[in-house]
Amino acid sequence: MPKLKILSIAAVFIILLGYVFVSAAELPKWFPFKKKDSLNEWEEKIFKGRVLYSVKATKTDGYLSAISKNAASGIFYRIRFNPKKTPLVSWKWKVVKFPEASKVKLVVDSEWIEKDDYAARFYVIFPKLAFNLTKTLEYVWDKQVPKGTILTSPYYKNIKIIVLESGREHINRWVLEKRNIYDDFKQAFGLEPGEAGAIAIMTDTDDTASTAEAYYDEIRVGYKNGTE
Segment 110-148, tens digit of pLDDT? 444 446 688 999 999 998 887 788 899 999 999 888 999
**Residue ranges per structural domain of the chain:** 2-223
> Does the pLDDT at position 86 exceed 90?
yes
Task: Report helix, strand or coil for 56.
Answer: strand
What pLDDT does 47 receive? Answer: 86
* Mode of pairing for the β-strands spanning 135-142 and 150-152: unpaired
Element holding 106 (H helix, E strand): none
Average pLDDT of the segment spanning 74-101 = 93
- Give residue 24's pLDDT: 53
pTM exceeds 0.85, yes or no: yes
Would the pLDDT of 87 be above 70?
Answer: yes
- What is the helix (H) or strand (E) element at residue 186, kind and residue range? helix 181-189
CATH number among 1.10.3720.10, 3.40.50.10330, 1.10.10.60, 2.60.120.260, domain 2-223: 2.60.120.260
Hey, which residues does 221 pair with through a beta bridge?
Answer: 29, 89
Residue 179 · residue 199 · CB < 8 Å: no
Closest CA to 90 of 214, 227, 187: 227
Q: Could you tell me how many residues make up the chain? A: 228
CA 150 from chain center: how many Å? Answer: 14
